[in-house]
Amino acid sequence: MAHIDEAPQQERAAAPTPGKEKRLPARDRLTVIVMVTVPLLLVLFLVWLPALGSVALSFGKWNGFGDIDTIEWVGFQNYQDIATIYPPFWPAIQHNLIWLGFLFLIPTPLGILLAVVLDREMKGSRFYQTAFYMPVVLSLALIGFIWQLFYSRDQGLINDVFGTQVDWYGDPDVNLWAVLAATSWRHTGYIMLIYLAGLKGVDASLREAAAVDGANEVKTFFHVILPVMRPINLIVIVIVVIESLRAFDLVWIVNKGRNGLEVIGALVAQNVIGEATRYGFGSALAVIMMLISSVFITIYLRTVFREERRG
């Protein structure tokens, strides 16, 4: 979920320089160690250790029922099989990419546009913000549920209005787009909020200077605001990529990610809690997800830390 932590504030002048912390009394040192170690162990044990575990398991064949020594190590076999003889894989990759492209082209610019407009204390700005932001508090699973009211073949609003007979969630030719429309309902408000927060931090004098120079709205945005918002832009890009990669809830609630709605996240789950438990296979898919996300996590951390250091 949300990772809106942009542009941290300045380091206090009085704080000691990094790495030059003076030694604490023994009892306090113990306190600090405990305060850091307990949360750290939790995150290492439940996130980082499993991440390594996924990498290891991706080189083996295992149904998960026997002990660890029942794993048959097969090298890169799983990866090879995924690319060659696993039918849903390439459709899934394609769907994740469509997901990404769609989010980038439609709801993300729309969210940014809304933020730019609403940033101008226009009348009723708060009402609009609330309206756009409301879907963000709903889960995507629930959103999939609610949009059934539009998409149902026999009882849905869309077919009712247009007199069509399309099964929007069931027809593999259209269901991806139906799901993307539903996801945009939420994504737009999310991007709007992140961007709005960033815009509040833009120095008003910059805009005034641009206005004095005779720059129009559009020019001001592209030449003044957008460059200043670079860290936020990067974070928005990272969020969009990660959200598209993680896509799961909506497709799972619709049809557990098959029949036109294959996405990588759902394939991993199918290999664990589906009819066949293929741990090696699922893990190889998981590793592919991890590799893609790690690139963007790196960009994210670098952005955040650069801001942090700049202070």
Partner 1 sequence: MTYETPVATAPPVTTAPPARSQGIALGRRRGTVATVIMALLALAWLFPLLWALVNSFREYDYTQANGYLSFGGWTFSNYVDAWTRADFGLHMKNSLLVTIPAVLLTLWLSSMVAFVLARFSYRFNLTLLGVFLAANLLPPQALLIPVFRMFRQIPVPYFLSDSGSLLNSFWALILVNTAFQMGFCTFVLSNYMKTLPYEIYESAELDGASVWRQYWQLTMPLVRPALAALATLQVTWVYNEFFWATVLIQQGDKLPVTSALNNLRGQFFTDTNLVAAGSIIVALPVLVVFFALQKQFVSGLTLGSTKG
Q: Which of 85, 122, 165, 275 binds partner 1 (CB under 8 A)?
A: 122
The CA distance from 144 to 207, in Å, is 41
Q: Does 237 bind partner 1 (CB under 8 A)?
A: no
Q: How many residues does the chain have?
A: 311
Q: Which is nearer to partner 1, 176 or 283 (CB)?
A: 283
Q: Does 174 bind partner 1 (CB under 8 A)?
A: no
Q: Does 222 bind partner 1 (CB under 8 A)?
A: no
| Three-state SS annotation for 248-302 | CHHHHHHHCCCCCCCCHHHHHHHHHHCCCCCHHHHHHHHHHHHHHHHHHHHHHHH
Q: Which of 77, 148, 233, 259 binds partner 1 (CB under 8 A)?
A: 148
Min dist CB 135 to partner 1, Å, is 7
Q: Does 118 bind partner 1 (CB under 8 A)?
A: yes
| H-state helical runs in the chain | 26-43, 49-57, 77-85, 89-105, 107-118, 125-133, 140-146, 148-151, 157-162, 175-200, 204-212, 217-219, 226-228, 230-246, 249-255, 264-273, 279-310
Q: Which of 156, 251, 260, 261 binds partner 1 (CB under 8 A)?
A: 156
Q: Locate tokens 């546009």: which residue?
A: 113
Q: Which is nearer to partner 1, 38 or 85 (CB)?
A: 38
Q: Which stretch binds partner 1 (CB under 8 A): 76-84, 85-93, 147-155, 172-180?
A: 147-155
Per-residue contact string for residues 77-106; x = within reach of partner 1 by CB under 8 A: ------------------------------
Q: Which of 99, 168, 282, 303 binds partner 1 (CB under 8 A)?
A: 282
Q: Does 26 bind partner 1 (CB under 8 A)?
A: no
Helix (H) or strand (E) holding 202: none
